[in-house]
Amino acid sequence: MPGGGVESGLRNTDHAFSSGAAWLLSEYVAGIRPTTPGFATFDIIPHPGPLNWVQGTMPTPLGGISIDYTLDQDEKLYDAQVTVPGGAVGRVAVPRLGITANVWLDDELVWTPAGPVGSAVSDDHYLYFPDVGSGTHTLAAEFDPGIADPDFDHDYDVDMEDFGHFQACLSGPGLQQTNPACADAMLDDDQDVDQDDFAVFQGCLSGANTPPTPRCDRP
């Protein structure tokens, strides 16, 4: 507000001795807010604005709730580490950086380009992951992931079906692959399909219904 007041005026951002700025950083930039008394349940809904790295901790009767996140708007990547004290349960939100996404919570896939896996939901601005319990958790999100080069059937995984196509296109080192249907198997951009192309394929191999590691097909 122009006069420095926030909400009911109990907080003030005009003076160094006031706690208004710290409150705004904790509840808005870090996004940590209680949803029941004593932070037994809470939300973490970050508002990074132009920032690409934020770290914050909210002291609560149950212990500190913390988040450390990085955001790359250009690459559309978001990574966060969240710590939840014993006895608390949180809903953690990931800012939407694109239309589709792959999201991993503790290395488990919880969102795919087809939509949520399990109880996650979304709105126009965030993907929400409920029931995050005590402990330290990691979130990794990749938005608008596109199709990895070795995903020959364009189903957002690199599995044995893709390997079958690759195997059928093998020509050997220095032997030009002339079949137009095998142009996509030239993964290292030369004219053969050999062990160098297989190394790219192997780096992206993820298994059925599992997206490959982000940017696995890039040098």
Q: Quick one: DSSP state of residue 194?
A: S
Please, which residues have CB within 8 angstroms of residue 121's CB and are 6 or more apart in sequence? 127, 128, 130
What pLDDT, on the 0 to 100 scale, is given for residue 19? Answer: 58
* 203: amino acid identity, one letter: G
The predicted structure's pLDDT at residue 79 = 97
Question: What local confidence, expressed as pLDDT, does residue 35 receive?
Answer: 97
Amino acid 10: pLDDT: 45
The two tokens of residue 184 are: 């996509």
| pLDDT at res. 4 | 42
CA distances from 187 to 73, 114, 147, 173, 180 (A): 27, 26, 13, 13, 14
Delimit the domains of the chain by residue range: 31-143, 147-219
Question: What pLDDT, on the 0 to 100 scale, is given for residue 5?
Answer: 42
Chain Cα centroid distance, residue 72? 10
Which CATH superfamily is 31-143 part of?
A: Maltose phosphorylase, domain 3 (2.60.420.10)
pLDDT at 94: 98
Q: Which residues contact 78 (CB under 8 A, 6 or more apart)?
A: 69, 70, 71, 72, 94, 95, 97, 139, 140, 141, 143
pLDDT score recorded for residue 15? 52
Provide the pLDDT for residue 18.
Answer: 54
- Any idea which residue has 């807010």 for tokens? 33
* 8 Å CB contact between 110 and 103: yes
d(CA 101, CA 174): 38
For residue 173, give the amino acid letter: P
Series of mean pLDDT values for 10-residue runs along the chain (219 residues)? 45 53 78 96 95 94 97 94 98 96 94 90 97 97 91 94 97 95 95 96 93 84
Sequence-ordered strand ranges (E) for 50-179 = 53-58, 65-72, 77-84, 89-95, 101-105, 108-112, 115-116, 121-122, 126-132, 135-143
Name the DSSP letter for residue 160: H
